[in-house]
Amino acid sequence: MKVIRAKTAGFCFGVKRAVNTVYEEVEKGNGPIFTYGPIIHNEEVVRDLEKKGVAVLDSPEELETVTEGTVIIRSHGVAKDIYDIIEKNGLHLVDATCPFVLKIHKIVRKESEAGNNIIIIGNGSHPEVEGIKGWCSTEAFVLESEKEAENFFYKGEKKLCVVSQTTFNYKKFNNLVEILEKKGYDIHVLNTICNATEERQTEARRIAKEVDAMVVIGGRQSSNTQKLFEICKQECENTYYIQTLDDLDVHSLQSVSCVGITAGASTPNNIIEEVQNNVRNEL
């Protein structure tokens, strides 16, 4: 049995920075401490932080009720109005937004102020995309599929600025942009997919082509893990999506000679190692 673990598996820079920021605030003991939304899309990490007294705020209404303490902005970022509420309530703000996401906020804010409308390529219900929309002062459109891009009709005179969710599938992003460009609109395209995401997806695709089975580890709400699973499934039919070792039937891999392992950007290293060690020991 051969096990190939992706070198890019696990915490990316932005996620590691965000998680470390919360634990540092806990050590300071300046409570109460809140995160606006789960700090990352990993239930194990969120549960551990809750045990240490960190509460999650899920809506602007919940945030409005907080009158003291520290509010940490999640790695996915938030809309401008969340910052406004924190400032209005006199709360201590710690911004753990991924720097790559902050860059998109600055882009869409600048483009909007210049009078341009925005197209965000990504999942409209994802926190990162919701946050990006919250920095647009002009109209913002969200497109996720080729069908949506094909059906998109724009009759406005304003220029369109196209950005992407940082964890979007790189190949799919290019396909959607190509569809939009053929429509003849005046568009300015900025590929804002994180370099780490692109590298992770490229490596996952390569490994999936080489192995008999592929294991993708990450939270069910993790967009980048979902994209990894889709990519691996295209190359290796025998692909498993798990959150922890408990979700994996190791014995189902007994008939294969080579297993690949990758993980989303919100997956802690200890979970990846636990899966890797058990696969090696059991088979």
Catalytic machinery residues: 128
Rounded Cα gap, residues 268 and 273, in angstroms: 9
The distance in angstroms from the start CA to the end CA of the chain is 7
Burial of 257 (0-12, 13-18, 19+ CB in 10 A): exposed
Beta-bridge partners for 217: 242, 263
CB-based contacts of 197, cutoff 8 Å, min separation 6: 12, 166, 167, 168, 170, 224, 227, 265
CA distances from 43 to 40, 104, 246 (A): 8, 26, 14
CB 22 within 8 A of CB 72: yes
